[in-house]
Amino acid sequence: MRQITINKNDAGQRLDKYLSKRFKTMPKSLMYRYLRTKYIKRNGKKASPEVFLSEGDILTFYIKDEFFEEQKSYDFLKAGKELDIVYEDDNILLIDKKVGVICHQDNRYDADALNLRVLRYLYEKGEYDPDADKSFTPALCNRIDRNTGGIVIAAKNAEALRVMNQKIRDNELQKYYLCAVKGCPKPPHAILTAYHYKDEKTNTVRITDKEREGYKKIITEYTVIRPSADISVCEVLLHTGRTHQIRAHMAHIGHPLLGDEKYGDRKLNARVRMRRQALYSYKLRFDFSTPAGCLESLNGKSFEVKKVAFLDKIGQIAKT
């Protein structure tokens, strides 16, 4: 016989969903049979698969030990330690992701992605225990392209992840970007509306001013903060969040981002020796209009990165 006490992160989900995550090698048919025959009990009683777990519930198991035996192999310990933390509390982390760092591991960058660095940080800090939190893993709530830097949100617990995902989905966060563009947009401030289509095969997007079938509406607000006839710096506030929205939309109005190889001016990029888009998600404001649970204390607060690297490059170009 073994027992497991349900913790905060495991609460709020169906029993069968929890068991599927906790015992990955257990066939589902066997799991349901164990429940039906009371080989798995909740608080000493027979439990139905669809019952929702509460913090403090005690699950008792009369099953084979082999389902509890798992080889400890934490890939995240191979990740780097470097994290530039903008803000941290008991529920979330705000991280200044540097250009060149990928948010999630893939076939090419599987050992040192940002999400793995977060897991290593929390593990070594004693705030994440993979053996205790079987059905929840701290996770990133948003992502930024590898060649773009800026603020990424990480949730430390299940409630924070659920709430933050809802806030992002309902557009209750304001994301501000800095970018360097060719020329000087006119007027100096505008809210642009257009229509966006993503080509999955080429991973590029097309922008049109008129509504078309298959295109989605986008809204991009910009303010010129360092005007110049040659290269200007703009602050951009996204009202919608589509793939490559800022890069493609600014290029569409004739002011592509410096260093952008997909939508930019290659001759200008070569002249200024920039091969990555001059784009940074530098400021985040929490503007909640619905209840935020454990994140309520963040409402109305803004966070900003201390240094945007490409601004120094733009300053050097302006002097030449």
Q: Which pLDDT value is given to residue 306?
A: 87
Domains and CATH numbers, the chain: 2-67 (3.10.290.10), 75-169 (3.30.2350.10), 173-319 (3.30.2350.10)
- Whole-angstrom CA distances from 207 to 63, 72, 86, 147, 235 are 58, 48, 34, 21, 20
Give tens-digit pLDDT for 150-202.
999 999 999 999 999 999 999 999 999 999 999 999 999 999 999 999 999 99
Give tens-digit pLDDT for 199-227.
999 989 999 999 999 999 999 999 999 99
32 pLDDT higher than 80: yes
Q: Which residues have CB under 8 Å from 116's CB, separation 6+?
A: 75, 76, 78, 79, 105
Q: Which pLDDT value is given to residue 320?
A: 58
What is the rounded average pLDDT for all residues in the chain?
Answer: 91
C-alpha 142 chain-centroid distance:
2
Query: Count of CB atoms within 10 A of residue 199's CB?
Result: 10
Contact 164, 92 (CB under 8 A): yes
Task: Express as a percent the part of the chain with pLDDT over 90.
Answer: 73
SS3 38: coil
Give tens-digit pLDDT for 37-77.
999 999 999 999 999 999 999 999 998 887 876 545 688 88
Bond prior to 187 in cis (omega within 30° of 0):
yes
Q: Which pLDDT value is given to residue 72?
A: 58
Q: Which pLDDT value is given to residue 165?
A: 96
The model's pTM: 0.76
**C-alpha to C-alpha distance for 87 and 73, rounded to whole angstroms:** 29
109 pLDDT higher than 60: no
Give tens-digit pLDDT for 245-277.
999 999 999 999 999 999 999 999 999 898 899
Q: Which pLDDT value is given to residue 41?
A: 95
Q: Which pLDDT value is given to residue 319?
A: 61
Q: Which pLDDT value is given to residue 217?
A: 97
DSSP state of 60: E
Mean pLDDT, residues 90-99 taken together: 96
Length of the chain: 320
